[in-house]
Amino acid sequence: MAYIEERVTTVEGGITEIRGDIAVIKNTQAGMQLKLNRVADDVAELKAGQIEIRDLLARVVARLEGVRA
């Protein structure tokens, strides 16, 4: 019986360790999701800025060519 009790204790310890690892992974995943959301927001801002710069540049070129925009 001592062998079985030892095995059960070992399995229980393994389960506890796995649960701890899962908790760490969940926390890490949540942090990564927040960072990814920030990156997505930054990309959206960059796209908007690029579009604005493109439109301004188009107006400058049009004025240089004598076209009223």
| Coil, strand or helix at 1 | coil
pLDDT of residue 1: 82
Taken in order 53, 54, 59, 64, the sign of the CA dihedral is positive
b/e per residue 3-35 (b: at least 16 CB within 10 A): eeeeeeeeeeeeeeeeeeeeeeeeeeeeeeeee
Per-residue pLDDT tens digits for 18-38: 999 999 999 999 999 999 999
Cα Dmax for the chain? 96
Q: pLDDT category, 67, cuts 50, 70, 90?
A: confident
| pLDDT beyond 70 at 68 | no
